[in-house]
């Protein structure tokens, strides 16, 4: 190749370094935007707070002695804080889990519920509500239901002779419909004046009832799941290849797949048991992230998590401020998500 | 010897598909697996790559028993270049090549500058540096094959297993790829490729392995192995192997299916009658 070739390679390497820097800046930009949206959201709601009030309410816990309404302090610490924290973590969890599932199943139209986690959680919650469990009990049952649904899908799929991902999807949809049948059955027998309403409300997805205790329950599994996905994020790339090919690159495909399914399941189950069924975030956010930072999971996972968090915080702002009464956030994300999905399908057809 | 197969048997649950295969190849060799489809070529590849375990026999790679190699060590010796490759997501070419580095850094890390450097070097080796920032999904089949070869180089493997590399390529790209394969062998890599065309070994191969029903029907230099008799045995049709000089006086060997003159329909009719009578 000679000198010319060396020069060309150096030029290409330089261009790549520039691109890397550009992506790095984009990441910081996203982090900054997320932070800004989060802070601004403290002021929005049925009881609006001015930026000054937000700051003094925040400082009141740290010995700030200035003039501040006690209601503002309560709204900030007991209502807005758990709610916004929940929105941040649910959004990040659903988006990161969605991105991982899409890669693992080699299908861009997959969402985190593919293995039945949401339906399982719904069934668990419906059961707990039917038996009059406490909020804490409902949350625990939802979490357990979600995790067991995925575990069942995984175990059954291992018995199949089909390709592993295909049988996972098949058993996943089977488990999903089984759980949905269970939910319908419970709704059918539930007392329509009290229990049925509660179940329906839970299934709609809402952040209205989140408090620090509920957030605390889901926080650990979310943290664990996000850590696993963030630490091993580059390896998810390899799972988007054919199994044989991925193996030939020197990795244990089954072990990674199990680990990523485990982490994504923790994330989606914890998200569902905290906020109910909030659809579309896990499907559409990874696509937006891909458009911004490319397909490489090294960047995609952090980008998805930040975008998902920001998106859900914004959606929750809309849910609590658009009308005089609160909208369920699941409804808001669906209304905005469905057209996006149609757009995706149409765009894919064109290609 | 980089690759040695000794009486290799293996297959899927119901029984051995590959039976008693022995062959060997070293750096600089292009070993062509020739035989009809569905006759154990892909299974043999899976056995070499270790994604299917042997039921008996042994495979030695660079002098080491392949059963004793960890997946990581295996990846640093043998690379797999799949036939047709269409990733779901729009990775950049550099992303794809860099996946070859998976066995070079720990699971906790993402690729470093050194890995990018290696990827560029590999792309340069196959003269595809200009494609580095393209979307892989936008490339032609031939270009994709080149990129996968670059990934194999980047993996720092020395044995390349190529599953019918020419199958989905148009004529010109096919010729181009064969040139690349020859060049790689010249650089000391050991290439094992399957092909359904019996004349391939003459143009690129230094060794040919003729397979019939999972067994070796011949192993050695193409000139010894690919003969009208052996081809008729393997493919079940009459073939001529002829050597001609091209316009530059270079000797080329080609395989031609032939048929005794006569009405083709009457030949088929005779065959059918034969079947009915049996």
Domain ranges of chain A: 85-350
ipTM value of the model?
0.85
Residue length of chain A? 351
Asked if A295's CB is within 8 angstroms of B75's CB, the reply is: no
Asked if A232's CB is within 8 angstroms of B107's CB, the reply is: yes
User: Nearest CB to B116: which of A16, A108, A241?
Assistant: A16
Please provide the DSSP assignment of A160-184 as one string: -SS-HHHHHHHHHHHHHHHHHHHHH
Lowest mean pLDDT among A80-84, B96-100, B169-173, B249-253: B169-173
Q: Dmax over Cα atoms in chain B, in whole Å?
A: 72
Place of tokens 């002021």: A43
**Which site among B88, B108, B154, B192 would you substitute to test the A interface, given the most A Cβ atoms closer than 10 Å to its Cβ?**
B88
Place of tokens 């028993």: B65
Asked if A238's CB is within 8 angstroms of B99's CB, the reply is: yes
Minimal CA separation from B227 to chain A, in Å: 34
Using the predicted structure, report yes or no on whether residue B160 has a pLDDT greater than 90. Answer: yes
d(CA B61, CA B1): 8
**pLDDT at B263 (0 to 100):** 63
Using the predicted structure, report yes or no on whether residue B9 has a pLDDT greater than 70. Answer: yes
Asked if A294's CB is within 8 angstroms of B133's CB, the reply is: no
CA distances to A104, A166, A240 from A156, in Å: 18, 12, 22
Q: Which residues of A touch B110 (CB under 8 A)?
A: 233-234, 298
Q: What is the pLDDT along chain A (351 residues), one digit of tens a residue?
A: 444 557 888 888 888 889 999 999 999 999 999 999 999 999 988 888 888 888 888 888 887 777 778 888 888 888 899 999 999 999 999 999 999 999 998 888 888 888 999 999 999 999 999 998 888 899 899 999 999 999 999 999 888 877 778 888 889 999 999 999 999 999 999 888 888 988 888 888 888 878 888 899 899 999 999 999 999 999 999 999 988 899 999 999 989 999 999 999 999 999 998 988 888 899 899 999 998 999 999 999 999 999 999 999 999 999 888 887 788 888 888 888 888 778 877 775 443
CB B39 within 8 A of CB B18: no
Any A CB within 8 A of B75 CB:
yes
Write out the two tokens for B156: 């720092």
Q: 3-class SS at B236?
A: coil
d(CA A40, CA A54): 9
Using the predicted structure, report yes or no on whether residue B33 has a pLDDT greater than 60. Answer: yes
Could you give all domains of chain B from N- to C-terminal order, each with its CATH number? 3-77+157-277 (3.40.50.300), 84-156 (no CATH)
CA distances to A275, A284, A308, A329, A346 from A340, in Å: 22, 7, 15, 17, 10
User: Nearest CB to A9: which of B79, B129, B155?
Assistant: B129
Q: What φ, ψ does residue B115 adopt, rounded to 5°? A: -70, -40
User: How many Cα atoms within 13 Å fall on the side-chain side of residue B147?
Assistant: 28
User: Nearest CB to B95: which of A103, A251, A296?
Assistant: A296
CA distances to A85, A172, A196, B66 from B114, in Å: 39, 41, 60, 29
d(CA B236, CA A217): 70
**pLDDT at A350 (0 to 100):** 40
Least Cα distance to A164 among A149, A154, A177 occurs for: A154
Beta carbons within 8 Å of B158's beta carbon, 6+ residues apart: B2, B27, B62, B77, B78, B188, B189, B190
Nearest 5°: CA angle at A181, between A175 and A186? 125
Minimal CA separation from A9 to chain B, in Å: 7
d(CA A213, CA A208): 14
Find the radius of gyration of the CA atoms of chain A: 22
Minimal CA separation from A259 to chain B, in Å: 12
d(CA A76, CA A53): 9
CB A251 within 8 A of CB B50: no
CA distances to A237, A251, B104, B120, B189 from B110, in Å: 11, 15, 11, 17, 28
Write out the two tokens for A210: 């989140």
10 Å CB burial of residue B261 (0-12, 13-18, 19+) is exposed
Mean per-residue pLDDT, B11-34: 90
CB pairs under 8 A between A and B: 102
Interhelix angle A253-275/A212-231, nearest 10 degrees: 160
Helices (H) and strands (E) in chain A, counts: 15, 0
CB B3 within 8 A of CB B193: no
- Mean pLDDT of the residues in chain B: 88
Asked if B99's CB is within 8 angstroms of A250's CB, the reply is: no
Least Cα distance to A306 among A108, A113, A101, A93 occurs for: A93
CB A122 within 8 A of CB A148: no
**pLDDT at A3 (0 to 100):** 47
* pLDDT tens readout for residues B55-72: 999 999 999 999 999 989
Q: E-strand spans in chain B? A: 3-12, 15-25, 30-34, 56-61, 64-65, 78-81, 159-162, 190-195, 207-212, 215-220, 239-245, 251-257
Write out the two tokens for B82: 């799949």
Any A CB within 8 A of B112 CB:
no
User: Nearest CB to B80: which of A1, A245, A290?
Assistant: A245
CB A244 within 8 A of CB A192: no
- Sign of the alpha-carbon dihedral angle for B267, B269, B271, B277: negative
**Which site among A249, A253, A258 would you substitute to test the B interface, given the most B Cβ atoms closer than 10 Å to its Cβ?**
A249
Minimal CA separation from B174 to chain A, in Å: 22
Beta-bridged to residue B161, according to DSSP, are B80, B192
Q: 3-class SS at A125?
A: helix
Nearest residue of chain A to residue B153 (CA atoms):
A249
CATH topology of domain A85-350: ABC transporter involved in vitamin B12 uptake, BtuC (1.10.3470)
d(CA A258, CA B198): 43
């Amino acid at each position: 190749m000679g000198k010319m070739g060396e020069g060309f390679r150096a030029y290409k390497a330089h261009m790549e370094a520039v691109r890397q820097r550009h992506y790095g800046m984009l990441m910081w930009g996203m982090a900054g935007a997320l932070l800004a949206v989060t802070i601004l959201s403290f002021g929005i709601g049925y009881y609006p707070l001015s930026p000054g009030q937000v700051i003094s309410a925040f400082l009141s816990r740290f010995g700030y002695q200035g003039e501040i309404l006690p209601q503002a302090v309560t709204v900030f610490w007991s209502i807005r804080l758990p709610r916004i924290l929940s929105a941040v973590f649910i959004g990040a969890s659903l988006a990161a889990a969605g991105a991982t599932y899409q890669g693992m199943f080699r299908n861009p139209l997959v969402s985190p519920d593919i293995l039945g986690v949401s339906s399982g959680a719904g069934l668990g919650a419906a059961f707990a509500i039917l038996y009059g469990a406490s909020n804490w009990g409902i949350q625990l049952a939802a979490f357990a239901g979600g995790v067991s649904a995925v575990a069942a899908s995984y175990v059954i799929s291992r018995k199949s002779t089909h390709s592993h991902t295909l049988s996972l999807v098949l058993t996943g949809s089977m488990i999903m419909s089984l759980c949905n049948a269970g939910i319908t059955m419970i709704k059918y027998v539930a007392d329509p004046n009290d229990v049925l309403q509660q179940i329906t409300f839970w299934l709609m997805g809402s952040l209205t009832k989140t408090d620090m205790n509920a957030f605390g329950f889901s926080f650990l599994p979310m943290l664990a799941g996000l850590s696993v996905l963030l630490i091993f994020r580059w390896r998810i790339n390899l799972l988007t290849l054919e199994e044989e090919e991925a193996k030939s690159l020197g990795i244990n495909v089954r072990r990674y797949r199990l680990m990523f399914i485990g982490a994504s399941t923790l994330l989606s189950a914890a998200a569902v048991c905290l906020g109910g069924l909030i659809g579309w975030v896990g499907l559409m956010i990874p696509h937006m992230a891909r458009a911004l930072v490319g397909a490489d999971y090294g960047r995609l996972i952090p980008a998805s998590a930040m975008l998902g968090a920001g998106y859900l915080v914004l959606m929750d702002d809309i849910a609590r401020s658009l009308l005089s009464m609160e909208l369920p956030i699941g409804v808001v994300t669906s209304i905005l998500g469905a057209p996006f999905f149609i757009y995706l399908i149409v765009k894919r057809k064109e290609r | 010897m980089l690759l040695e197969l000794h009486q290799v048997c293996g297959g899927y649950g119901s029984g051995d598909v590959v039976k008693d295969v022995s062959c060997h190849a070293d750096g600089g060799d292009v070993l062509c697996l020739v035989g009809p489809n569905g006759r154990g070529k892909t299974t043999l590849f899976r056995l070499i790559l270790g994604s299917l375990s042997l039921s008996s026999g042994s495979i030695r790679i660079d002098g080491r028993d392949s059963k004793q190699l960890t997946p990581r060590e295996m990846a640093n010796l043998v690379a797999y270049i799949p036939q047709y490759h269409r990733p779901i997501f729009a990775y950049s070419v550099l992303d794809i090549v860099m996946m070859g580095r998976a066995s070079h850094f720990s699971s906790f890390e993402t690729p470093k500058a050194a890995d990018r450097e290696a990827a560029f070097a590999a792309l340069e080796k196959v003269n595809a540096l200009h494609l580095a920032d393209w979307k892989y999904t936008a490339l032609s089949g031939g270009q994709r094959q080149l990129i996968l070869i670059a990934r194999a180089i980047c993996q720092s493997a020395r044995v390349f297993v190529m599953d019918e590399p020419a199958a989905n390529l148009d004529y010109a790209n096919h010729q181009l790829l064969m040139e690349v394969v020859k060049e790689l062998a010249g650089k000391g890599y050991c290439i094992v490729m399957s092909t359904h065309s019996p004349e391939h070994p003459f143009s690129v191969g230094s060794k040919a392995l003729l397979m019939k029903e999972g067994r070796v029907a011949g192993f050695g230099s193409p000139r010894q192995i690919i003969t009208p008799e052996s081809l008729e045995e393997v493919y079940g049709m009459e073939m001529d192997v002829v050597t001609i000089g091209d316009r530059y006086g270079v000797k080329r060997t080609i395989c031609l299916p032939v048929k005794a003159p006569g009405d083709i329909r009457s030949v088929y009719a005779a065959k059918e009658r034969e079947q009915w009578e049996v």
